[in-house]
Amino acid sequence: MKQLRDATVEALQQVQQLVEASDGALYNQPSVHSESGIGRHVRHILDHFLALQHGLDKGSIDYNSRHRDSDIENDPSLALQLINQLCNWFLHPQSSIDERPIKVESEISLKQQQSMQFDSSLSRELCYLINHTVHHVAYAKLVAKELGLSVDNNMGIAPSTASYLRQQGN
């Protein structure tokens, strides 16, 4: 579980790098090709982490119940505070971050409001959050580059792709 917690923190640190690179003024500047700026992606990522954190206390994670449109979307200092709190939570786990079965609720239909509950595990949900974070960091990195921000090219690359690139000597 420690390896998974550490990998989750690595993903959150990429989010932190994006927030820091945005220099505040460009934090929620939308892309020419999308309505979403870096701040909206950051808020979306962190909403999922908060859903996990709150769900662990209740024994059921509800990814439908997110904060959408919170101040984190527009205030990079709030985003950095939350990222720091989440990293500390994963690095110095309470008894709530241990392997166990957990229920997950999520919407499943694009055409109508329809949710289902699934059996999962904390490990599986952390793996999901890592991949979800990488996916949104990749989008936010494109926005950052479009805005002329300097960001690490390795940011937003899936773990398996990063391993492949290391094997290729890249």
Residue that the structure tokens 């934090």 belong to: 27
Q: Which residues of 56-89 are buried (b: 16+ CB within 10 A; e: fewer)?
A: beeeebbbeeeeeebebbebbebbbebbeebbeb
Strand partners of residue 102? 120
- The DSSP element (H or E) to which 62 belongs, if any, is strand 60-62
pTM of the model: 0.91
Number of domains in the chain: 1
Distances in whole angstroms, Cα of residue 11 to Cα of each of 21, 39, 65, 92, 156: 16, 16, 22, 16, 9
Look at the alpha carbons of 146, 141, 66, 63 in this order and tell me if their dihedral is positive or negative: positive
Tokens of 131: 């991949």
Give burial (CB, 10 Å; 0-12/13-18/19+) of 40. buried
Read off the pLDDT of residues 131-160 as tens digits, 9 standing for 90 and up. Answer: 999 999 999 999 999 999 999 988 999 888
**Best CA proximity match to 12, nearest among 76, 75, 82, 83:** 83
Q: Are 82 and 75 in contact (CB under 8 A)?
A: no
Half-sphere exposure of 100 (CA within 13 A, CB side): 13
Per-residue pLDDT at 96: 67
Per-residue pLDDT at 13: 97
Per-residue pLDDT at 95: 60
Q: How many CB atoms lie within 10 A of CB 27?
A: 23
Residue 43's domain comprises 2-167
Q: What is the CATH number of the domain that holds 56?
A: 1.20.120.450
pLDDT tens sequence for the chain (170 residues): 889 999 999 999 999 999 999 977 799 888 888 788 999 999 999 999 999 999 988 889 999 887 766 899 999 999 999 999 999 999 887 766 777 889 999 998 889 989 999 999 999 999 999 999 999 999 999 999 999 999 998 899 988 888 898 898 86
